[in-house]
Every structure is written in C-alpha cells, then in structure tokens.
Structure 1
Amino acid sequence: MKKFGLLLAGGIAAIVLLSNLGPMIGLAISIAILYIVFKQFVKTDSTLMKIGWGIIGLMALMASASNIPAILGIAAAYVLYLVYKKWNKSKTAVIVEEKDPFANFEKQWAELKKN
C-alpha cells in the first residue's frame, strides 16, 4: 500500500513538473539575464548606461515575476526526488542492545583481550 501511495504522489508530481516545464525554463532564462544585467550595471560608470541597464533589469525582473508558477515545478521536482529516495529505501531493523553506553566498550575490550 505504501508503494501505491508513493507511485500516486510521484505520478502527480511528474504531471505538475511537466506542465510547469515552460515557466521553469522561462524563469531560468530571465534570472540569467537579470544576473548579467546586474553585473553590467555594477561595472559601468556612465549614468546613461546605468539608466539603460536599470530599464533592462526592470524588464527582466518583470519577466521573472511572470514565471512564478515555476516554483510549483521546482517543488514537484523535489517531491519526485523524495519519492525516488523513499522507493529505493530498504527496510532495516535497528537493534538496540542496551542503554548503557559503556556496554559496547566492555564487549569490544573483551574481544580485544581474546586476540
């Protein structure tokens, strides 16, 4: 039953990821343009060029803001990653012998004395 739930969550996340692939690409491109514009804005000394780079940066920022649904795609990709990790996780039993932290030390010390 757990595998069915993981399969269902992974399927829904895959559909959401594929439907938001376009906005994700648009967001990546607009953020890259915004980064380049910021670097050029900082490098230039001319006031007229700073105004020009500022206008271009404002347009890139508006393009980034219009691609906000890409955040759903990023979240869906993360859910797919979690489903993949849980799917391949094997069940291992952890055996706790005693609460005394020195019990294991005593056992190892006795084994060392034997050798």
Structure 2
Amino acid sequence: MYLIDTNIFLEILLNQDKKIICKKFLQKNLGLLYLTDFSLHSIGVILFRYKKVDIYQKFIRDITSKVGIISLPLRLYSNVGKVSMFHSRFPTLFPDRSRLHLEVLYFIVTLPLFPCRQENRLK
C-alpha cells in the first residue's frame, strides 16, 4: 500500500514536467494507492486557486473508484504534536506529522518521487 503525496496528483493535474512519471507510477500501482482526506482538500484548494474547478470535479469522480481515501481518527489528533522524535532538531509541519500517524496506523509506505514543486505551494 502506498500513501500518495499531494504533489504526485498536482504534477498530473497541473500538467507539470514529471506528469508522465507520476501517471506511470499510479497506473502501475492501482489498487495499492491511498490519499489522505487532507491531501484531497489541499488539491481542491490549489486547483480552485488556479480556477480549475472543472479539473477538480473530474479528479474527484476519477479518484473515488481507484484510490482509497483515509483519515486520521479524531482520537489520534492529540498525538500529532508528539510524532517526530527529531522534532527539536528537525521541526515538521502538521501535514507531515499527521501523515506519519497514518502511515503507522495503516501500515502504508510513502514514496516521495521528487521534492515538492514550489509553484504548487500556496503563498
């Protein structure tokens, strides 16, 4: 099982440079892919920002039958701040910490194929 990073989907949806690599990875691993509800919302925020509502709606229709959507159970949110034993030396963002909880909870592997693209980040 693979927990897919938001940027893998954004690479495809925004027609970026690594679109083909991302598509091949997703196609090769159908049935093993998961996305967090947080990532799903983040993709929506970014696509709406770029006025690509129609692409988001199509994405939602396509994704629901091919990728599992998982959430961090409410009872575990209080532990998100304690996730990283390296927190004092390497502070992590909330999405990274909640993601780590999900990986442990669902025994999922995260494969970052490439670093987050700067233009996909909200300013």
Short-chain TM bin:
under 0.3
Give the number of the structure with larger relative contact order, counting CA–CA contacts within 8 Å between residues 6 or more apart. Answer: 1
TM-score (norm 2): 0.23
Structure with bigger strand share is: 2
User: Structure 1 length normalisation: TM-score?
Assistant: 0.24
Give the structure with the larger helix fraction: 1
